[in-house]
Amino acid sequence: MHILLVHAHPEARSLNGALTRFIVGRLERQQHSVAVSDLYAMRWNAVLDRADRLDIDPDQRFDPSLDSRDAYARGTQSPDIAREQDKLRRADAVILQFPLWWFSMPAILKGWVERVYAYGFAYGVGEHSDARWGDRYGEGSMAGKRAMLVVTAGGWESHYGPRGINGPIDDILFPIQHGILHYPGFDVLPPHVVYRTGKTDVARFERICAVLGERLDTLFTTPPLPFRRQNGGDYTIPELGLRDDICPGRAGFCIHLAQR
């Protein structure tokens, strides 16, 4: 199998750098091939703007969505975007590896998503009508591929528990796991989160790698998070609300996960 690892940390000698090297080594030992997009090392341009469309008229008003659509359709995207899209097409699984910064991904990784996820590639895919709202949330161009987050956080695990002050980690990661990964069709695996990073020494790093190693060995067999499919019958069309008879009276992120 072929895995794309997208890594977002500015320092190779960091904990995240060490985790990325461990991930590559472990996957290659399992006879997988691995491509790494090391965003800081690549000096990835995180800013979506009119330069993303090579054939844009200088006098034309730039529309981030429509110009993305036209550039994708006409093959006039900035080459760095097209290269990352090719890496995604080739991958059977994608790992996003990053430190939690301000309760989300580092800006450079968000910018990778914004620019690489073009209209027609990651959104605006499939039939859009009164009866169908496109191929997304479980369907789309990434259907059949797996994705997993490997995240480090300075906070303690209890800070991210069900009643922890930071909010539950599943809620914090929901916009990434559901909005960025499930949306274009990935099967999303449970995340691997390393907490309390300041307390890492050689012995703890070995324990972290032992657990992470098992996750990597089961990358293609671990059951994905049971996010509901948009076109699976659980949502009303075109309102796209969860049917009243499913999780009645409840709201929040958790209702979009089917009970196992």
Selected from 41, 47, 154, 162, the binder of ligand FAD by CB under 6 A is 154
Residue 201 binding ligand FAD, by CB under 6 A: yes
Residue 168 binding ligand FAD, by CB under 6 A: no
Q: How far is 240 from 141, CA to CA, in rounded Å?
A: 20
Residue (198 or 248) nearer to ligand FAD, CB: 198
Give the nearest distance from C-beta 34 to ligand FAD in angstroms: 19
Residue 197 binding ligand FAD, by CB under 6 A: yes
Residue 14 binding ligand FAD, by CB under 6 A: yes
- Sole window of 62-70, 142-150, 198-206, 233-241 interacting with ligand FAD (rule: CB under 6 A): 198-206
Residue 181 binding ligand FAD, by CB under 6 A: no
Selected from 48, 93, 94, 100, the binder of ligand FAD by CB under 6 A is 100
* Binding to ligand FAD in span 124-153, by CB under 6 A: 152-153
- Sole window of 11-19, 121-129, 134-142, 240-248 interacting with ligand FAD (rule: CB under 6 A): 11-19
Selected from 12, 15, 212, 237, the binder of ligand FAD by CB under 6 A is 15
Residue 212 binding ligand FAD, by CB under 6 A: no
Contacting residues toward ligand FAD, per CB under 6 A: 9, 14-16, 18, 99-103, 152-155, 197-198, 200-202, 205
